[in-house]
Every structure is written in C-alpha cells, then in structure tokens.
Structure 1
Amino acid sequence: MVGSALSAEWRGLIKSAGQELFWRRGELLLREGETADRVLLLQQGLVKVTAVSATGFTSLLALRGPGELLGELSSLDGGPRFATATAMGEVAGVAVPAPRFTALMETHGGLALAVLRSVAVRLRESDVGRADLGALPTVARTALVLARLSRSYGTPVPDAADGVARRLTINQQELAGAVGASRESVVRVLRVLTEHRLIAVSRGQVVVSDPALLARWPGAEP
C-alpha cells in the first residue's frame, strides 16, 4: 500500500456512504475541467492522472491504486477538476457525492485528519520528485521515474527468480509525460536500459528487473 492510501477503517466508512462503480481500460473516471460532484475511493486496479498544458502537452501527474482517493481536493474547494483520471485496466471503486463526503469529514475528525495526511504525502512526494528530477538528464530521469513507479504501483512477476522484479502497466507516451521529455527521447532511453537488462518492454508494460538497482543507475540516484 502506498503512503497516501487510507486505512481499512476509513475505507469502510467511505464505502458505506457510496456506490460501487466499475470502469474498463481507457474509460474516464474524472475529467479535467468538469464540476467536482463526487469523490472516488479506488478498490481495485490502476488509474493514471493526467493534465493537458496550454501547449497541448499531456503530463502524467500520478498513478493511483487501491485505497487511494480521487477528486477529494476539487470536491472540498468547489473548483473545477484540474486533471483527468483514466482507467489503465479493469478498475473498481466507490463514488461518494461531494456533499456527503464533506459531511463525513465534518462528523468524523479522524477521517478528516487521514485525508489531510494523504494530501500532505502527495504534495511532499510531488515537490521532492520535481526537485530530484529537475536537473537530471533524460536517461537518469527515466530510470528514476520507472524505479519509483514500479516500487509503488508495480505488480510482482511470478516467474522472477529473485522476487524483486515488478511489472508496471504504462505505455511510452505516458512514461514520456511522467518524465517530462519527448516520446522519442524516452524510447531511446528504454532501448539503453533494455540493453543493460535493467528492464524489458512489451506493449503497454515495462518489467523492471530490480527497482532499487534501476534507481542507482549512473546519475539517477538523487
């Protein structure tokens, strides 16, 4: 479970107040710019959070998995959604109307504190991530992003001899958005990392042989 996931107690409370929904790969859970009318608690699957800049470049802001919330900030401040959330596979979650979610936090101070902590973790990770990656060359940024995402959201590879390999569902364009580089540059880096047997690339997936080792790729370790 990642650092911004809620505890079982608070997940149960939110689930009891909402409606279970399902999405197929490619379907939108939330859309950038729309009115924030609900909060989603993810139960199964992986979701990508993206935003489009004024120049048309799509950035991958984050991945979210089971136990994490989507849309809570916009629902609390009443502003439009600042990002789009898209299912990366079969996804299950619970939708809670924004007013009901706010009422839950007003009634349960522990839940409000847990949500605040979740937001704080995300902001800290985002700030640290940008600071770490800002001055690195593309090859190092790509290695570090892959290492971090695979550790947080990758799934174990059953036939891996050492048990540390992780399979990450992400395509080349999404990875380029997370790295902040062109798709062509990232593709070249993936070839280099593949040649060194640090990763294996297939359609829509990257297998990271050893996330810790990849994070220590020359120049990648902050």
Structure 2
Amino acid sequence: MIEHEAPPLLLTEAETSLIRGAGRRRSWRGGEVLFAEGDIPEGVVLIEAGVVKAASDARNGYTSLLAVRGPGELVGELACIDGRPRSATVIAMREVRGTAVAADRFLRLLAENGPLALSVTRVVSVRLRQANRLRALQGALPTTARVARVLLDLSLGHGTGDGRSQTDRIVLVSQAELAGAAGTSRESVVRALRLLQESRLITTSRGRIVVHDPEGIDRWSGR
C-alpha cells in the first residue's frame, strides 16, 4: 500500500454547520482568485466542492505552490486570526463552491465556541507540521524524488480521474508551481518530469500532469 500525506484534518459536521450558518454561499470559476497575496484579510472560505491552490510569487518570478485544499477544508483562516496581510494567493483550480464568512463573524465564532476554536487551532498546527516536514525533506532528497513525492501527494489527495483508466489521476499544476512545491528550479523539474515520462509513469501537457502509475511514482519518491 502506498504511504502518502495524511488526509486533511477536517472540522466536524456540527462545526461546519456553525460556519455555514455564519456565512453565505458562493461559487468561483476555475482560475478565479478567492484571496490575493498582500490583501487585508476580509474573511475565510469553507470549501464544499472543488479544489483550490495557494501560491506565492517572489519578486524574481519564482512561484511557490504552498498548498492544495479541497472539500471540508478552511482557507484564509490564518490571516484572519493574526490580522496580517494574506501570505498567498488562493485560486480555484476548477469550479469551486463554498461558504464565505466575514473576518469579524469568524473571529466571533471562535471566541464564542471553544470546541470550534480548538479544532481550527489543530488544523493550523497540522498544516504547520506538514510544511516543516516538507522543508526538511527538500534538503534530504534528490530533485526527482522530491518532484515524485509532490506529484504523488497531489494526485492521491486532489487528483481527478479522466475516465480512461482507473489508476489515471489528473493533477492541475504548472511546472513553475511544481518547482515551487518541490523546492527546486523549473529546469530541474523539466528534467525530472522527462525521466518520469520516459518511464511511462506520467504524461504532461500545459498546466496539467496525468499520473498513470501511482505505485511507480511512489518508488521514485524515496519513501
């Protein structure tokens, strides 16, 4: 059995009901921005359908893919809690539906509901641990292993099928974003993807990668 990133820590149904009751339903088209890096935090979103990505752009043009979030997960909560500008841009990777809650109402919910506040704190803690683990691995593994590991986690956690094969999983990620997530250069990612493609584990096209053999990718990942 493939070992991969642990599933996201989700809120309980009662906690998500509290958030739904405090907000309003919204939808975003694929490619639409939910939050922009540097903006003042105005609220959070509970994702109910679809997938979003959080990315940060450096001044030199380097793009870091920080996270991918899906149904049942909160986005934007950290900036609302500490009141600092958004640290990343959150973009819908395909059509997304969710509940948007204004920052003041979200903070009031946390202040008035201890179990919800504790659950949100746990979610933030788990995400920080995952980020620290990823940074540690980036220094310990060769480039191809890092790229394979990111692809495996994205495909198993948030990939979509294309109907052609039960094992095929589509990952909507650019080479620049993959480089940011793996902590390497775009040129190194191109070389790693070429190796994986020559091994018939993946196929690539603009803005997406199809993972054909998760078990094979796992063998490349150095786990």
Instruction: Compute the TM-score of the two structures, normalised by the length of structure 2.
Output: 0.90
Q: Deviations over 1:178-213 (max 9, x none)?
A: 122222321221121011111122332212123343
* Aligned twin of 2:122: 117
Task: Select 1:188's aligned residue among 186, 191, 197.
Answer: 191
Distance in 2, Cα, partners of 1:7 & 1:165: 31
- Matched to 1:82, the amino acid is S
- Letter of the 1:46 partner, please give it: V
Deviations along 1:60-111, one digit per CA (max 9) or x if unpaired, are: 1111111111111111111111111111111112110111111111222111
Asked whether the equivalents of residues 50 and 96 of structure 2 are also in contact (C-alpha less than 8 Å), the reply is yes
Match of residue 164, structure 2, among 129, 136, 159: 159
| Count, aligned residues | 218
- Summarize the alignment of residues 51-200 of structure 1 with structure 2, pairs less than 5 Å apart: 51-160=56-165, 163-200=166-203
Assess if the C-alpha contact under 8 Å between 1:22 and 1:92 holds in 2: yes
The one-letter code matched in structure 2 to 1:99 is D
Segments of structure 1 that go 5 or more residues without pairing to the other structure are none
Distance 1:64 1:135 in 2: 26
Residue in 2 that maps onto 1:36: 41
1:10 and 2:15 equivalent?
Answer: yes
Q: State the distance in 2 between where 1:56 and 1:193 align.
A: 26
Q: Is the 8 A contact 1:148 1:211 kept in 2?
A: no
Within 2, Cα distance between the matches of 1:11 and 1:192? 43
| Identity over aligned pairs, percent | 49
Q: Is the 8 A contact 2:62 2:176 kept in 1?
A: no
1:116 and 1:137 mapped to 2: Cα distance? 33
The answer for unaligned runs of 5 or more in structure 2 is: 1-5
Aligned match for 2:205, one of 193, 199, 202: 202
- What TM-score does the superposition give when structure 1 sets the normalisation length? 0.90
Q: Distance in 2 between matches of 1:26 and 1:164?
A: 26
Cα separation, 2, equivalents of 1:80 and 1:9: 29
In 2, the alpha carbon distance for the partners of 1:145 and 1:18 equals 33
CA contact (8 A) 2:48 2:99 kept: yes
Question: How far does the alpha carbon of each residue in 1:11-45 deviate from its partner, in whole angstroms, 9 at most, with x for none?
Answer: 22211110111111222110111111111111111
Moved more, 132-141 or 30-39: 132-141
CA deviations over 1:122-143 (Å, ceiling 9, x no partner) = 1111111111222222211111
1:157 deviation in Å? 4.5
Deviation at 1:5, TM superposition (A): 2.8
- RMSD of equivalent CA atoms: 1.8
